[in-house]
Amino acid sequence: MASATSSVPSASVPGPDAPHLPDTARDLVKILITGPFGVGKTTLIDSVSEIRPLHTEERLTEASAQVDDLEGVREKTTTTVAIDFGRISLPHGIVLYLFGTPGQERFRPLWDDIAYGALGALVLVDSRRVDASFDVLGLVEESGLPYAVAFNVFPDAPRQHSEEQLRRALDLEAGTPMVACDARERNSSVDALLALVQHLIDRDRPESR
């Protein structure tokens, strides 16, 4: 991937209902969308995908009531039990294949297979419960995948945290991109993906090696 995506307005990215790869497609890239339970992974893939996304949602039942913490996402009725999949074409011929992981620890055995071959990860974090992201961030770092963090903005999220505080809480390196994101909003989600792609491109430059 040699082209820069900086200053690409997210609104210029093709919308949904574009099932065929554009002729200009050049760099086909697998990206992992990950994060803890209920943070908005499925929602983000839904909001950006130009093909009908693949989901593996199952209803949350009483059996999981003691294990799946619905604090902050009370209206949630389903959960991803295997994978989400979507695709988005960006400018400069870059096409992202988005692979979403499940959020719960009990699906951990699937994680490595879903992550296999990915070039980078977008880690979603809920600023109301930052500590819920520690395990996933640990996994991503262990895997060596470059990543960007997208803070999902929920309406009752505390406003008092500065970017610096959030970075410190997550122990992020200075070069790791961190953006605010509303996974329900296409442009916002595309911007988060563009931040990740730019990060991957910057790391790929000879002078950064």
Ligand X SMILES: Nc1nc2c(ncn2[C@@H]2O[C@H](COP(=O)(O)OP(=O)(O)OP(=O)(O)O)[C@@H](O)[C@H]2O)c(=O)[nH]1
Q: Which residues bind ligand X (CB under 6 A)?
A: 35, 37-43, 73, 75-76, 79-80, 102-103, 152-155, 182-184
42 scored as a contact of Mg ion (CB under 5 A): yes
Q: How far is the CB of 186 from ligand X (least distance, A)?
A: 12
DSSP character string of 35-59: -STTSSHHHHHHHH-SSPPB--EEE
Determine how β-strand 94-100 pairs with β-strand 84-89: antiparallel
Binding status of residue 188 toward Mg ion by CB under 5 A: no
5 binds Mg ion (CB under 5 A): no
Residues in the chain, total: 209
DSSP state of 194: H
Shortest distance in whole angstroms from residue 78 CB to Mg ion: 8
Enumerate residues 6+ apart whose C-beta is below 8 A from 62: none
Q: In angstroms, give the least distance from the CB of 55 to ligand X.
A: 9
Which sign, positive or negative, has the C-alpha torsion 156, 134, 179, 29?
A: negative
Q: Which is nearer to ligand X, 105 or 204 (CB)?
A: 105
| 73 interface partner picked from ligand X, Mg ion, none, CB below 5 to 8 A per type | ligand X
Q: Out of ligand X, Mg ion, none, which partner does residue 47 contact, by CB within 5 to 8 A per kind? A: none
Helix (H) or strand (E) holding 99: strand 94-100
**Distance between CA atoms of 156 and 209, rounded to whole angstroms?**
41
* Residue with Cβ nearer Mg ion (33 or 190): 33
Separation CA 192–CA 196 (nearest Å): 7
Considering CB distances under 5 to 8 angstroms, the limit depending on partner class, which of ligand X, Mg ion, none binds residue 76?
ligand X
Contacting Mg ion (CB under 5 A), which of 5, 34, 49, 80? Answer: 80
Contact partner, 40, from ligand X, Mg ion, none, Cβ < 5-8 Å per class: ligand X
Please give the residue ranges that form the binding site for Mg ion (CB under 5 A): 41-42, 80
